[in-house]
Structure 1
Amino acid sequence: MPRAITAPFDSDVDLDLGSFLLRRRGAVCVAPRDLLPEPDPWTTRGLVALDADLARRGFLLTSQLRSALARLSPTRLAEVGDGLLVRIDHLLGADREHVPLFRRFPDAVPDHAQLFWTRQIRAFLLNQPRQPCSHCGRRGAEAGIGALAPCAHLLCAGCFDGLTADGRAEWCPTCGTPLSAGTYLPEDNRIGQRAALEFGGEQALRPLRLITADQVTAAMGEFDRLLARRTPLSPQDRDDLAALLAHAPADLPQRLPVRIPLREVKATVLAALLRRGGADALPVLAERIDTATDVLRLLWAWSGAEPDLLPGTARRLRLRGLSRPVRRGLLEIMEGLHPTALVEDLRRHRSAWLRAGELLHPYEHRRRVPNVTAAFVVLRGTDLRTHEVGREFAEPHAGPLRVVSAGERTRLGFTGFPGRVEALLAAGDTEGALRVLAHRPGELVRRLHHVLRVHATAAPGTPLAPGALDTVTAALARVAPGPLLGAYGALRGTRTAGERRLYFPRGTVSLAHAREDHGAVVPAALARPVVLAIETELLRRSGADGERYEVALLDEGLAELVAPFAERAAARTLVCVPRGSRQPLPAGERLRLFLHWMQPEGLRVDLDLSVALYDECWQFTGLCDYTNLVHGDRAAVHSGDYVSAPPPNGATEFVDLDLARLVAGGSRYAVVIVFSYNDVAFEQLTDAFTGFMDLGVTPSGSPHFHPRSVRQRLDLVGDAKVCVPMIVDMAARRYTWTDLNTGADGGFHSVYRHQAEVGALSRDVLAHFAPENRATLWDVALARAAACTDDVLVRGLDGRVRRWRRGAEESVGRFAARLRALRDEEPEPAPALSELLSGRRAFISLVDGDVPAPEQVSGTLYRLYPGPVDAAPEDLERLTAGDLVAGLAPGPPHVPVMRAGAD
């Protein structure tokens, strides 16, 4: 079903709050009303089977969660356990081919369940000892992680010594099983050694946390954060919002904030209120609708479409009918708007409003809503001298909407804003252009690079005048985070004449286009004051809420995570890696790419998984696809070509890459491509996703698709037929997550025929997303840390932790400049993280959540990959990358008192 006509509340959207909590917070909700006074023996036996099933998927129950599950009835545990495994399989993409090992737990659990679980844990510890303690979350060789006998639950030496000192070392703190002889050392166990040889690879178990509340209460904690976002929501966030609205309590109107910044979100919420209350919701709608476009977005959301009003959706959308009171109420809301703004809004989305007019019937209420009627007359180009409605309306209503000529209709409602800006820029008057653009700060910041280009051409070697720089600074204070970060990346990078530039047109999918740019290069001396002004604004916004932290922990690897942009076109993924980010490959030598799809009844769909190989100069070196199943000395092997994927099982294709062999054979880059051979768009498929697995953690003899091995998956959606999910740099052992679609006019049936275009686009993508050319999460997190705390820890790429403290007389700008350059840190080594974070209010921003969970810590946490830090208490608020960027929302206008790096 096309995305434009997918209803936010239909069966295609996951409305399961359990999946929502698992995906966003790594937590499982157990309602207090379900808990028994004491653990049930049968439930305890069933938990062993659940432990084993979760370990096979790479997950671990924390001691708090396991203790809560033990107090469920056997039947309730079966429901919770089955549901949890199904959700995990769905997130990993394993629900099509893999089923839980023990489907009927706790009933009829095989006697070897305990042995199976024990062997799994022994294998983990032998092959990778850096597992998290299930009690405190610590990990690593220094923690002394071992497994208790006979239950095999993980415990660190510190926790075991503490239990011994308290006289509680006779029972497992996780499950309460009597212990036989303390911990066993895995290296002394031959059975475990054999299991480790079969297991292979390196992977840390991901802890699952406990939330002791009902799912609605726990999930609604995310509701306010989504409503407060000032950056476009990704498809996954939109699904989460739909799930929350579908399960929201009856007092939803009272829960809404005073202002919802993002208009698409506001339309979605208002459409939900309209579904619930019908005409009774009109007073709430009247309070929150302030433009005619808000009404149009509402109609789109009401009809089951995304309210982003992208071009082309009007032709595909079937508008849903409204009751007569609701139609009349919406027209009256529009009547209360300024007439000129009303006409301008209608003209901005002409084709969509022509469709909406057929639903609203404004001419039926022309005496009640004369301005709205006149606006539609102008929109449709009706001649008021001859049209009956026009004559009836025009006589008694004089003013700006009484028009009788086509020329006047064309000019009606327009101030000539774009024309004045272009005329001033053509004349080289950048100061005048900035004064005009100041009325629309977003437009000014988006065109800032263009304005500076014109200035560099018209007045070479001359800096911006102080007045012009003040105009720019005032606009920076009012613009949304997206344009602000976009201008920051565009101006601080090094540009060259004739360079290739990448463009992402607004749409439902992330189409990329590249071309040579022969415009003037903005000199660094001209851009530097604007870059400093942006850095100052980032610091001001980061500290505008007044929130303070005692300490901050940052990861230097954040510099390789691009700040999210164009999120409305991002695909749903297992790990929310922002488009353009570079990440290390798994430690093993072999990767397995996978593609799965299922076609609807009556439609044959042939998708193909291909890998194009290039050397370091981007010369084509080979191909692995349906035309060439084996590349080189089996360095790349394709599993075979399926030409259809009928339900219920669909079809799956694999490509195995031996990285060392490919590099030895002269290949450096591997471009992963998925395309529709018979030109069927992805949005018409019942299900389709792609991704990659780490074969190093796949047990021998396991199925071709093993859920524990999955490192990333991406859903194939939208009106696209070609997808490039990632580009692998095999020499550097890193991959760039691209999540791009390319045009397929005329068909894209052979990667070999398009090898030159694929190589050129891939080269342009890597250059475009170089860290110096884009704003990164390091920039966002650094500004937050420098503005909100005086004690900052930075974990370097080598794992070493260094410390920076702000001096008593040091400005925030200078402190941020030291952090940005990673210089002048504290001379003494930083204490252990557990000592610095425990019991304090902290801002933590990491790539890998592999630090131990601090005790009694509060504050905020962002991490890309899950890890032991997820076991931290609920006082540590979890953020996404979009939340970090949304925290840079503009505040009230201000007069800057300093620039970054100045006293």
Structure 2
Amino acid sequence: MTNTLERLVVRHAHRVPVPDGPAGAGGTAARRFDAALMSAGFKLSGDLLDALSGLAGDAVDGLAGRVLPVVREMVGDHVRHNVYFRDFPHGVPDTLDFWVSCLVGALADPEADVEIVNGSLNLLSLPKYGKYLHTYEEMLAAHDELVAGAGDRLTVLHAGRPVAAEAERLFLALAGSATPLTEEELDVLRELAAHCTDAVPDAIPVRENRALINRVRVAEGGDLLLDTVTDVLRLACALSLGDVTLAEPTEFLLTRRERRALLAGLDAVVRDSPAKLGDVAAHRERWKRLGERLHPHEYPRWPHARDVFAVARGEKKAPSFAGRVEALLGAGDVPGAAKLAANAPGVLFRSLDRLLRTDPDASGAVLDAAEGAAGQVSGRVLLSVREHLLNRTRKAKGTRVFANRTGRGVALPDTRPPLDPAAFRRLKDLLDDEVRRRLPAPAHLVVDPAVLDVALPLSGKATASGLGVLPRGSLSPVDGELLRFFVYWKQREYRTDYDLSALMLDRDYGNPQWLSYTSLRKVGGEHSGDITEAPDGASEFINLSLRKVKASFVIPQVNVYSGEGFDDVEESFFGFMVRDGEQAGRPFEPRTVRMKSDLHGPARVALPLAFVRGKEGDWHAKWMHLHLRGGFAFNAVEGNRVTTATLTRAVIERRYLTVRYLVDLMEPRQLTVLDGVPLPDEPVTFVGLDRPDGLPEGSEAFTLRNLRDLIPA
């Protein structure tokens, strides 16, 4: 179990717990460990190298044997990345010539059974198509070693305390997050909660996190953290190992002890506040199914719990809070609706745009209610409304983008009238003042400029799991000449074909061109070749010379052409590498990987990010984390290019609230921007993508690992 916790700490905190062990001369082993890490794009911090050098060599070697597989998996180097064309990116033929050669080879093979369907050749029936024609070792022999470049990624691993202490630290950070976690982080929290039973977070703002903590408390017989009836429903899902976000249905499987805990908690919530029965209607069918498992009629000592199921069955009336607000709006009483909504400040702030549009003459009363309730609204909601205002100016574009919990994206025309300018300014000032009041005022703030255009992580649902992944809407520079995308998948049971493609668009999001298995060489790039099954795992690559690309936008995508979806395969991930013009090396080189993200979701087309050409010819990545539903089979870039272009335009032209906004609101006594400037030698508050090596002791750091902690409570 210690190894499992150690793995979680390394992967999610980029900290290596220094093991307790005999002192020794482990310097040689530590340097060997460091060199092995560097081949994967990682490095030991100075403090960690010193700590390991003081241990026995065997202890360092044992630690290296556990940590190296973790970091290689983080970057996607734990699998073998072969390519169809052995010399890729060299030696990629013209698409038509390649298909003809495959056909000629099939005609020369007396055992080949070439299939013609509706007058078209079935490529999958050609013996040489879609399968590796050489071994992984033969592919490696065809490529020179990678020469290290100045722009290669180097992720620093820092020294950590013993495993138990680091696991508790990670648990408290995740449990106390002010924003919803990613699916992977929820899984980590679920696992850590079972081992950190003595750790008590100061607060658990996110309801999903609270459900996972309550699950452990039920097992321990401790007090439960329940404020609403929906908290009890989430706990029932957690106890049944189901979806605590309530996005997916859960089959309730509960022991007698768990049923009693749920009914007792439900009874206490309703007894203390009967009005909370109004929340039942939002999940009426789930409550009915849960009632069938809890048998509340068998427990007469908890009568208030029975009321919940009576409301779910329609036997008892309990108007919802939202329904009461809607009734006032339907009667044209906007000031009354705002006054009532102020009893649930989060509901009021999420409804401000609608209230201000419904009756502009009542904007004063609406904003008076908002000012009175602002102090009770979570920081995440305040920032969400502030970001919303960025896209409600008269100059805002006429498209809105929506994404559900699984990243399914839809772009729709924005038909809402603009807000009254005076009301807009008053609300903007209110939000800015309230956020500023809650932000810390550090003595010395040090900022890495690379983080300033990172979108605030207001929800883990807008970020995929992986290495170097930024929230949706973030902008990050591309600092190399060669851009290379990759996808890897391994089928679980059925023959599965994923297709990596790249759509190119001009500055008006038109004139589409693409690189794919149907267009192997085009627009300054090469495709590594189509692999159509992956029993042992398969990879596809696209190589682009940014200097040769004439398009303004490059949108990589992964299409499920046939077989198992992203949630069904044994493993699948996407990423991109950046190389200098002179760097060759293997098709996959972990040191050049800038981003690697797992592919998940029920949709069949993934759009991880887009690359945008700037006015000066420079390139930036715009992070999307979106999916298209696609068809069950035969998804291809040609078929979704219009939808992809529409979604890409909506994301690129939408304005997102970034770290720059919070930095501008902070009022430090001293500000240092790390643009060629050395680190100060005094404790500081650091904000950047990664914690730098040599940060003074006593400093506080906000990085991609814990950027959510910048969100004020």
When normalised by structure 2's length, the TM-score is 0.84
Of residues 683-692 and 71-80 in structure 1, the stretch that sits farther from structure 2 once superposed is 71-80
Pairs within 5 Å for 1:90-129: 90-97=73-80
Q: Aligned partners of 2:414 and 2:33: how far apart in 1?
A: 58
Encode CA deviations 1:139-160: one digit per residue, 9 max, x unaligned.
Answer: xxxxxxxxxxxxxxxxxxxxxx
Q: Which amino acid aligns with 2:532?
A: V
Q: Which amino acid aligns with 1:255?
A: A
Q: Which amino acid aligns with 1:791?
A: Q
Encode CA deviations 1:839-879: one digit per residue, 9 max, x unaligned.
Answer: 24x222124656x73444x2421234xxxxxxxxxxxxxx6
Aligned residues: 647
SS state at 1:560 partner: coil
Q: Report the alpha carbon displacement of residue 710 of structure 1 after superposing the two structures with TM.
A: 0.8
Stretches of structure 2 that go unaligned for 5 or more consecutive residues are 83-143
- Say yes or no: does 1:845 pair with 2:671: no
Of residues 688-697 and 733-742 in structure 1, the stretch that sits farther from structure 2 once superposed is 688-697
Encode CA deviations 1:270-291: one digit per residue, 9 max, x unaligned.
Answer: 212334x3xxx1x423xx2233
SS state at 2:269 partner: coil
- The equivalent residue for 1:652 is 539
CA contact (8 A) 1:607 1:675 kept: yes
Q: Aligned partners of 1:375 and 1:353: how far apart in 2?
A: 8
Q: Which one of 624, 632, 635 corresponds to residue 738 of structure 1?
A: 624
CA contact (8 A) 1:497 1:518 kept: no
Q: Aligned partners of 1:319 and 1:423: how far apart in 2?
A: 35
Q: 1:694 to 1:88 in 2, by over 3 A?
A: same
- Say yes or no: does 1:290 pair with 2:227: yes
Q: Aligned partners of 1:716 and 1:45: how far apart in 2?
A: 39
Pairs within 5 Å for 1:150-229: 198-200=147-149, 202-203=151-152, 205-211=154-160, 213-229=161-177
The two structures, once aligned, show a CA RMSD in angstroms of 2.9
Q: Which amino acid aligns with 1:644?
A: E
CA contact (8 A) 2:393 2:419 kept: yes
Of residues 52-61 and 514-523 in structure 1, the stretch that sits farther from structure 2 once superposed is 52-61
Aligned sequence identity (%): 28
CA contact (8 A) 1:592 1:656 kept: yes
Q: 1:734 to 1:259 in 2, by over 3 A?
A: closer
Q: 1:273 to 1:698 in 2, by over 3 A?
A: farther
Q: Report the alpha carbon displacement of residue 580 of structure 1 after superposing the two structures with TM.
A: 0.9
- Say yes or no: does 1:331 pair with 2:263: yes
Q: Aligned partners of 2:192 and 2:512: how far apart in 1?
A: 49
Encode CA deviations 1:742-768: one digit per residue, 9 max, x unaligned.
Answer: 222565612212222221221111111
CA contact (8 A) 1:671 1:728 kept: yes
Of residues 530-539 and 258-267 in structure 1, the stretch that sits farther from structure 2 once superposed is 258-267
CA contact (8 A) 2:407 2:601 kept: no
- The equivalent residue for 2:215 is 271
Pairs within 5 Å for 1:235-254: 235-248=183-196, 252=197, 254=198
Q: Aligned partners of 1:343 and 1:653: how far apart in 2?
A: 53
- The equivalent residue for 2:37 is 54
Q: Report the alpha carbon displacement of residue 257 of structure 1 after superposing the two structures with TM.
A: 3.9
- The equivalent residue for 2:568 is 684
Pairs within 5 Å for 1:754-903: 754-768=640-654, 770=655, 774-783=656-665, 785-786=666-667, 789-794=668-673, 799=675, 833-834=678-679, 837-840=680-683, 842-847=684-689, 853-856=694-697, 858-864=698-704, 880-885=706-711, 888-889=712-713
SS state at 2:548 partner: helix
Q: Which one of 248, 256, 259 corresponds to residue 200 of structure 2?
A: 256
CA contact (8 A) 1:199 1:697 kept: no
- The equivalent residue for 1:371 is 304
CA contact (8 A) 2:554 2:610 kept: yes
- The equivalent residue for 2:436 is 539
Q: Report the alpha carbon displacement of residue 237 of structure 1 after superposing the two structures with TM.
A: 2.6
Q: Report the alpha carbon displacement of residue 361 of structure 1 after superposing the two structures with TM.
A: 1.7
CA contact (8 A) 2:494 2:563 kept: no
Q: Report the alpha carbon displacement of residue 683 of structure 1 after superposing the two structures with TM.
A: 0.8
Q: Which amino acid aligns with 2:217?
A: L
Q: Aligned partners of 2:261 and 2:35: how far apart in 1?
A: 58
Q: Which one of 382, 393, 415 corresponds to residue 495 of structure 1?
A: 393
- Say yes or no: does 1:669 pair with 2:669: no
- The equivalent residue for 2:106 is none
Q: Aligned partners of 1:493 and 1:373: how far apart in 2?
A: 46
Q: Aligned partners of 1:426 and 1:748: how far apart in 2?
A: 47
Q: Report the alpha carbon displacement of residue 434 of structure 1 after superposing the two structures with TM.
A: 1.5
- The equivalent residue for 2:98 is none
Q: 1:622 to 1:15 in 2, by over 3 A?
A: farther
Encode CA deviations 1:522-565: one digit per residue, 9 max, x unaligned.
Answer: 1433201111111110011114xxxx632112345544211113
Q: Aligned partners of 2:330 and 2:258: how far apart in 1?
A: 48
SS state at 2:318 partner: coil
Q: Which amino acid aligns with 1:781?
A: V
Q: Aligned partners of 2:239 and 2:323: how far apart in 1?
A: 36
Encode CA deviations 1:366-398: one digit per residue, 9 max, x unaligned.
Answer: x333333343244235xxxxxxxxxxxxxxxxx
Q: Aligned partners of 2:190 and 2:544: how far apart in 1?
A: 39
- The equivalent residue for 1:571 is 464
Q: Aligned partners of 1:739 and 1:567: how far apart in 2?
A: 11
Q: 1:350 to 1:199 in 2, by over 3 A?
A: same
Q: Which one of 435, 443, 446 corresponds to residue 339 of structure 2?
A: 435
Q: Aligned partners of 2:3 and 2:281: how far apart in 1?
A: 37
Q: 1:35 to 1:207 in 2, by over 3 A?
A: farther
Q: Report the alpha carbon displacement of residue 200 of structure 1 after superposing the two structures with TM.
A: 4.1
Q: Aligned partners of 1:748 and 1:530: how far apart in 2?
A: 48
Q: Which amino acid aligns with 2:624?
A: T
Q: Aligned partners of 2:342 and 2:696: how far apart in 1?
A: 49
Q: Aligned partners of 1:447 and 1:670: how far apart in 2?
A: 36
SS state at 1:515 partner: strand
Q: Report the alpha carbon displacement of residue 594 of structure 1 after superposing the two structures with TM.
A: 0.3
Q: Report the alpha carbon displacement of residue 442 of structure 1 after superposing the two structures with TM.
A: 1.0
Q: Which amino acid aligns with 2:685?
A: F
Q: 1:715 to 1:454 in 2, by over 3 A?
A: same
Q: Report the alpha carbon displacement of residue 439 of structure 1 after superposing the two structures with TM.
A: 1.6
Q: Which one of 585, 600, 606 corresponds to residue 478 of structure 2?
A: 585
Q: 1:15 to 1:674 in 2, by over 3 A?
A: farther
Pairs within 5 Å for 1:505-584: 505-507=403-405, 509-543=406-440, 549-568=442-461, 570-584=463-477
Q: 1:781 to 1:19 in 2, by over 3 A?
A: farther
CA contact (8 A) 2:42 2:154 kept: yes
Q: Aligned partners of 1:643 and 1:432: how far apart in 2?
A: 61
Q: Which one of 243, 252, 259 corresponds to residue 306 of structure 1?
A: 243
CA contact (8 A) 1:263 1:294 kept: yes
CA contact (8 A) 2:489 2:537 kept: yes
CA contact (8 A) 1:630 1:637 kept: yes
Q: Report the alpha carbon displacement of residue 27 of structure 1 after superposing the two structures with TM.
A: 2.5
Q: 1:645 to 1:747 in 2, by over 3 A?
A: closer
Q: 1:471 to 1:859 in 2, by over 3 A?
A: farther
CA contact (8 A) 1:498 1:519 kept: no
SS state at 1:477 partner: helix
Q: Aligned partners of 2:634 and 2:340: how far apart in 1?
A: 45
- The equivalent residue for 1:413 is 318
CA contact (8 A) 1:698 1:706 kept: no
Stretches of structure 1 that go unaligned for 5 or more consecutive residues are 1-8, 100-194, 382-402, 404-408, 801-831, 865-878, 890-903
CA contact (8 A) 1:15 1:242 kept: no
Q: Aligned partners of 1:503 and 1:748: how far apart in 2?
A: 26
- The equivalent residue for 1:119 is none
CA contact (8 A) 2:176 2:205 kept: yes
Encode CA deviations 1:114-141: one digit per residue, 9 max, x unaligned.
Answer: xxxxxxxxxxxxxxxxxxxxxxxxxxxx
| Structure label with greater radius of gyration | 1
Q: Report the alpha carbon displacement of residue 266 of structure 1 after superposing the two structures with TM.
A: 1.3
Q: Which amino acid aligns with 1:326?
A: E
Q: Which one of 585, 591, 609 corresponds to residue 726 of structure 1?
A: 609
